[in-house]
Each structure stands twice: as structure tokens, then as C-alpha cells.
Amino acid sequence: MANNNTLKNAVMAAILTAIIVTPVFGLHLVRQGARTVMETQWHMVAIASAAVFAFQLLRPWIAKPFRALKFGIPTLPAAPTRGSRGVIALIIVAAVVWPFFAGRSSVDIATLVLIYVMLGLGLNIVVGFAGLLDLGFVGFYAVGAYTYALLYHWGGWGFWEALPFSGAVAALFGFVLGFPVLRLRGDYLAIVTLGFGEIIRLLLINLNTLTGGPDGISGIPKPSVFGMEMARRSSEEGTRTFHEIMGWTFQNQHMVIYLYLMALLLALVTLLVSTRLIRMPVGRAWEALREDEIACRSLGLNPTRIKLSAFTLGAMFAGFGGAFFAARQGLVNPESFTFIESALILAIVVLGGMGSQVGVILAAILLTVLPELAREFAEYRMLVFGLVMVLMMMWRPQGLLPMKRPHVELGK
Amino acid sequence: MSEALLQVSGLTMRFGGLLAVDSVAFEVKRDEVFAIIGPNGAGKTTVFNCVGGFYKPTAGDILMDGKSITGMPSHKVARHGLVRTFQNVRLFKQLTVLENLLVAQHTQVEARLLPGLLKLKSYRQSEADAVARAAQWLDFMGLRQYANREAGNLAYGHQRRLEIARCMITKPRLLMLDEPAAGLNPQEKRDLQALIDQLRREFGVAVLLIEHDMSLIMGISDRILVMEHGKPITTGTPDQVRSDERVIKAYLGEE
């Protein structure tokens, strides 16, 4: 009986494979001079079907050793909520000193990692703590980036003056968009936020006169050092660059390191603030709301306000990240803020372990560095990405370093 | 000020064609234990949901301490001192027992962002007070040793007690219990009865109660409202209700 079923399954799987694979492998367009001819390669389809058939038929036997393996996967320890101060200080010192000895490209990648750490920590508040699935997070990132870009373009503002505004404008967007959206739950919320992310991107493309359309805005200045430019030559008459005052000769490497250090600073501030937030009454309320909204209401907690606070604060962090991104790139265009970015940030949060700060940082490093290391396999990036996600869901649905409770403890 | 803490009059709730509650009226006096009983589907929980602001009643008035709370959203109702438990316990399961009690104090603690981010003295004080209050209630309920456990891992009886503690820590004036004895063993039921009695005496809280367990109801209630098919049949003391023919008919069926 079981064998009969296996055979039936295998046949069905083989047929389905043949149908799916035919347009991909079976039909080839071959150009012969001016004409394009379709060539059929049935042997490819046959091989694929045969492989699937054999696999399905033998699956019960193949699965056996794997079943044992499933329990053998080593479990990682839960993320420590309070690492010892010494270790944390050591990590920070290492992170500060490291770029002076590293190559330019690795420092550059590290800066990118730190931007994603900022974004991941921001989204972690929304998804991990408040339990609101936000698929349009990149929209707030875009708002932050464009706020700085536009303030520079139309007002000539510098990075440090624009930074708080980028955060504030992104937070405002989070607040305004949150109002109508947060009545929805679960999947509906996800779809609407997805729509908002896309709307913001489309607005950026189509508001040609304001945002420069698909070309975006370029020539955005890098952050200054205490009001002094960090460049080879001063762009304005009568001002001196940081290097001239310090008596250094300018190297491009300096700028890269400086950007890295600023990103590190911003990421640390984000980490500090979000770590405090989740231990505060508002953080507890986020988690309570994720657990049971009705119980929250019965205790006098206003769910709309609490959700809105999570949405707004998350958006604010995205705004800071966006402003920094604009400064680092020197140009912004809508291309940088597609849905895939939202998906990546969400993947960072899920992979890291929803609600786990350390996990999110680890996942941000993994998901940014690995694709850079495996550039040859760039074509298969999304495939591997999907595979990793599926494996995660099977073996470690709670994420790499799941959050450890409790934040507050009562002594005996 | 009238003697009644909660006044419900002409309460009607219609779901489409179904008349779930039909002109129900009752009063709960200060520090009174008032019970609503009736066969399954009589509309007891619907009354609860209307009073607690989870449903908007189709018609009728609900006054708390003389102020109308009709149609108010539930979180505002809670701030008027009306807090409830649920038929199937609704704890924050992944939060610890202590955290459950801290969340419940949200409206009482320093919840503004800036003092918390800067760890100002006022914030630290407010948090320490909140933890101390939670500890007091855990001691009171005999749950102190479970303080740092996830609430979802507690034994069912303990979860019920924690849910009541979570209500009481909000300093309610009216505690609404929806079938608090469901799923409890006889010993736990006796403990519950003693607990409700103690809460009323020591904290001066009025209790509005839905329950199926007759011995509990009869032993603890001052007055009882009997409902059937969404309509009130009678209101009276346990003795009056017990001997009322209409009640007996509703429960045992007609000859």
C-alpha cells in the first residue's frame, strides 16, 4: 500500500517536473543568422523527470538517515541579553580600530553591514516586538535618504543638520501611514504596507521636478567633520578642509574609514536606544500586544497608540539609515528602494531571531558579507537565499540567536 | 452619588437576525458580588462583552458610577475601573509572570519615552514601584516562586490566579470574572471562592461574575441575575433564585 502510494507520487512528480522543466530546459531559442529557431532538447527534460522520479521513489530510504540528523543539529545558545560589559567594550574597541588595518573594500562592505544593522534593528521593533508584519519598510528608508538629498539639493544643508530631519520626516511618514493601516492585522497589514513601500518608490520616480525622477539626486556631500569638509580640496572658497587643518595628506582611504566610523556610531546609538526601548514600559506593551491584543485592551492599554509608537520609532531608525545611505552613496535614486530591500531587511530580522538584537546584528553581517564573498555565484544568490530561509524554518524557526527572556527578573 | 456602581438598563445586542441579548437590566452595588447565570447560549458573555466595551450594544445604557460608558472602546472602559478576565485565560503567554503584571500597570507607570531613554530618577522610581507592586500581588496569590517563568508554562489553576492578579493590579472598582472556575479542581474552586471573598473585603472591589458552578455561585453571590435566550428571567438573592419556578424550568426544562 505504502509502496503503491510512493510509486504514484513519483509518477506524478515526474510528470509535473516534465511540464515545469520543458519551457526552461526543453525549448531553446537558437539564432541562425537573421532567423530565430526553436530547438527542442527532450533529453534534458527526460533526465530531469527521471531524476525526480528516482528521488521520489527512493525518498523514504533517503529520508531515514536525515531524520536522525534532524535531532543531531546542534542548537545554538540563546542570545545573551546582558553580555558582560568587558566583552562589549572589547568588541566596540575592536570595531573602531579594525578599519585602520583593513583593506578599503572590506571597510566599505562593513559600512554597508552597519547600515543594514540599523535597518534591521529598526524593523525588529516593528516585526519582532510589536508583531506587525511590515513589508514596506524600505519606504521609510527611502524617505530618510530623500529627505537629506532634497534638503541638500534645495536648501544646501549638510549631513549633520539634515540627519535629525531625516529621522523626523521618516517617523512622520510612519505615523501618518500607520494611522489607517494599523487597524488591519496580519496578512492584510503586510499587503498594505507592501503597497505603501511601492507607492513611495513610484512617487519618487514620478515627482520629476522635485526628486529628479528615475535619475534621482546626485552630488550629495559626505558627512563633515565638526563642520569641516573631508575632501582633497575645499569646495568653497575660503574654507579649509579637515586634512589641511590637521596637516595630513588626503587619501581616499580616510574617507572610507571615516564613513565606517560614522556608521558604527549611528548603529551603536540605534542599538543603545532600541535596547533601552524594549526594556521600558512601551517595549513591554509592544510584546504584550503581539501576544494578545484583546487582553491588552481589557487592561486599559490603547492598542492603536502602542502600535503607532512601534511603527513610528521603527520608521525613524530607517530614516537615519536612509540619510546615512544617501551620504555614503553620494546619490539617491528610486532603484535603491525596491521591494527586494524590504525583503532583505525582513530576512535579516527573521534569520537573526525575531526580537533578538544580537541575532539581528549577526544576520545583518551574514546576509551582507556572504553575497559579497560569493560574487561568482551572484546568479544563484536568490536561490541560495530561498534555500537558507527554508532550512531555517525547518531547523531553527526561532532564528539564529533567539531572544532570551526575561528582561526584568524578580529576586527570590 | 447613587448606591449602584454599575447600572445597566435596556441592554440589547443584535447580531444580524439574532437577538443575543434582549433588554437586560441590572445594577451592581459597591462591594457586592453579583452573578449572572443561565444555560449555555443565554447571552451571559455577550452582556459581559457589551459592558466591557468589546461589543457596541445595539441599544441600552451602561453607567459606571453615574457616568455613561456605553459604546466606549474597551481600553477606555478599563480606565473607568472595569477590568475583566476571560473564559479561556488570556495571559501574555511568552512574557514572564512578572512581566504580565508589569504590562497591566502600563496606565499607572511612567511610560513616556524620554525619561525612560535617559533613565531619569522618576523613571527608575516608577519601575521599581511597579516591580514592588507586582511582587506584592505575587505573594498575595502565592505565585512568587514562578515570577520569572513564562506565563504560558504555569499550571492552569495558577494561570487563572495570575489573570485575576493582573486585573487587580490595575486597581479596578469592578472586577468582571467570566467563568473563573472553569477547569479548576474542587480544591482550587474552594480557593477561588475564598479569594473572591478576600478581594472584596480587603480591596473593596465589586465583582460581576458569570459561572456555571452552582455551589460556587450560591456560596458567594449576594444577588443573581438569571438569563435565558437573551432575556432576563429574574434577579434575586441565592435563596430567592433557587426557589423560583421559572429558573427551575429554564434549567430543568418543562414537564
ipTM of predicted complex: 0.90
Q: Has residue B2 got a pLDDT over 60?
A: no
Q: Has residue B49 got a pLDDT over 80?
A: yes
Residues B205 and B182 in one domain: yes
pLDDT at A245 (0 to 100): 72
Please indicate, yes or no, if residue B108 is contained in any of the structural domains. yes
Please indicate, yes or no, if residue A139 is contained in any of the structural domains. yes
Q: Which of residues 216-275 of A touch B (CB under 8 A)?
A: 273
Please indicate, yes or no, if residue A404 is contained in any of the structural domains. no
Residues A9 and A147 in one domain: no
Q: Is the dihedral of CA B70, B73, B76, B81 positive or negative?
A: positive
Please indicate, yes or no, if residue B233 is contained in any of the structural domains. yes
Flag residues of chain A having pLDDT under 70: 1-2, 65-83, 227, 231-240, 405-407, 411-412
Residues A50 and A181 in one domain: no
pLDDT at A77 (0 to 100): 53
Residues A132 and A18 in one domain: no
Domain boundary among A50, A72, A94: A72
Range of A369's domain? Answer: 85-395
Give tens-digit pLDDT for B162-192. 999 999 999 999 999 999 998 899 999 999 9
Percent of chain B with pLDDT over 90: 65
* pLDDT, chain B, mean: 90
Domain count, chain B: 2
**Chain B residues touching residue A299 (CB < 8 angstroms):** 75, 78, 83, 103-104, 106-107, 166-167, 170
pLDDT at A354 (0 to 100): 83
Percent of chain B with pLDDT over 70: 98
Residues A43 and A101 in one domain: no
Please indicate, yes or no, if residue A409 is contained in any of the structural domains. no
Range of B109's domain? Answer: 94-158
Gap between the Cα atoms of B92 and B99, Å rounded: 9
Please indicate, yes or no, if residue B164 is contained in any of the structural domains. no
Please indicate, yes or no, if residue B41 is contained in any of the structural domains. yes
Domain count, chain A: 2
Residues A129 and A21 in one domain: no
CB contact under 8 A, B106 and A284: yes
CATH number, residue B202: 3.40.50.300
Backbone φ/ψ region at A205: left (φ over 0), alpha (ψ -120 to 50), beta: alpha
Q: Has residue B66 got a pLDDT over 80?
A: yes
pTM: 0.82
Please indicate, yes or no, if residue B166 is contained in any of the structural domains. no
Please indicate, yes or no, if residue B191 is contained in any of the structural domains. yes
Gap between the Cα atoms of B58 and A365, Å rounded: 56
Residues B180 and B245 in one domain: yes
Please indicate, yes or no, if residue A317 is contained in any of the structural domains. yes
Residues B152 and B181 in one domain: no
**Å from B93 to nearest chain A CA?**
7
Please indicate, yes or no, if residue B163 is contained in any of the structural domains. no
pLDDT at B138 (0 to 100): 94
Please indicate, yes or no, if residue B144 is contained in any of the structural domains. yes
CB contact under 8 A, A284 and B102: yes
pLDDT at A2 (0 to 100): 55
Residues A331 and A207 in one domain: yes
> Which distant-in-sequence residues (6+ apart) come within 8 Å of A207 by Cβ?
A213
CB contact under 8 A, B90 and A298: yes
pLDDT at A72 (0 to 100): 47
Gap between the Cα atoms of A117 and A320, Å rounded: 12
